[in-house]
């Protein structure tokens, strides 16, 4: 049985994972939301203005009233550098799927792996999920490396499972970890 707690602040070795505020709009826009390199495989187009980022953050901050919302901003050296969230979950199956993105200037430093490990531990230890998964576009192998570094097991690839913003069909690889595996 799950005990939903909503987005709680999580401290990692190098970062603070916390709730977004509307005041994060400028850094979110500048550090990742307006960058096509970051949003290439995501569900949204690069943000055209700080105002559009602020409007999205107004929606996200309002959603924090629900204890089933898990959506963290990654704060590193005083900068908002990315986000990690539960994009889907099932109470019945006690399973959750993570999604994440991070500013290009912060890639290849192990920061996303650090954040994902902390969130996975929170979801297992605090909320009580049985299974956590990560899926990614095969054409974005760096996202898959995060799953692998977190100890998730490759489950397979769904062929042409998602349509990109450009109209291309993307193969989607899936990884998961079970609570008893994580606790070993």
| pLDDT for residue 184 | 86
pLDDT in tens, 119-137: 999 999 999 999 999 999 9
At 178, list the tokens.
């079970």
Pull the structure tokens for residue 82.
């990315």
pLDDT digits (tens, 9 = 90+) for 90-114: 999 999 999 999 999 999 999 999 9
Q: What is the third-level CATH fold of 10-130?
A: Aminopeptidase (3.40.630)
pLDDT at residue 81, rounded to an integer? 98
- Tell me the pLDDT tens digit for each residue of 45-79: 788 999 999 999 999 999 999 999 999 999 999 99
According to DSSP, the β-strands at 95-102 and 131-137 are parallel
Residue 120 parent element (H or E): helix 111-122
The better pLDDT of the pair 43, 154 is held by 154
pTM as predicted:
0.95
Q: Do residues 53 and 20 lie in contact, with contact meaning Cβ atoms separated by under 8 Å?
A: no
Whether pLDDT at 164 is above 90: no
Domain limits of the chain? Answer: 10-130
């Amino acid at each position: 049985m799950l005990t939903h707690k909503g987005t709680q602040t999580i401290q990692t070795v190098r970062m603070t994972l916390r709730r977004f505020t509307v005041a994060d709009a400028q850094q979110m826009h500048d550090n990742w939301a307006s960058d096509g390199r970051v949003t290439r495989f995501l569900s949204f187009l690069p943000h055209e203005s700080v105002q559009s980022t602020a409007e999205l953050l107004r929606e996200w901050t309002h959603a924090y009233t629900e204890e089933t919302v898990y959506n963290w901003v990654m704060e590193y050296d005083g900068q908002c550098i990315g986000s990690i969230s539960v994009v889907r979950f099932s109470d019945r199956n006690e399973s959750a799927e993570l999604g994440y993105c991070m500013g290009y200037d912060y890639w290849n430093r192990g920061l996303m792996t650090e954040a994902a490990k902390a969130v996975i531990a929170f979801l297992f230890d605090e909320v009580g999920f049985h299974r956590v998964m990560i899926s990614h576009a095969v054409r974005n192998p760096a996202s898959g490396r995060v799953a692998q570094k977190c100890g998730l097991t490759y489950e397979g690839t769904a062929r042409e499972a998602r349509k990109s913003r450009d109209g291309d069909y993307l193969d989607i690889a899936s990884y998961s970890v079970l609570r008893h595996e994580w606790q070993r």
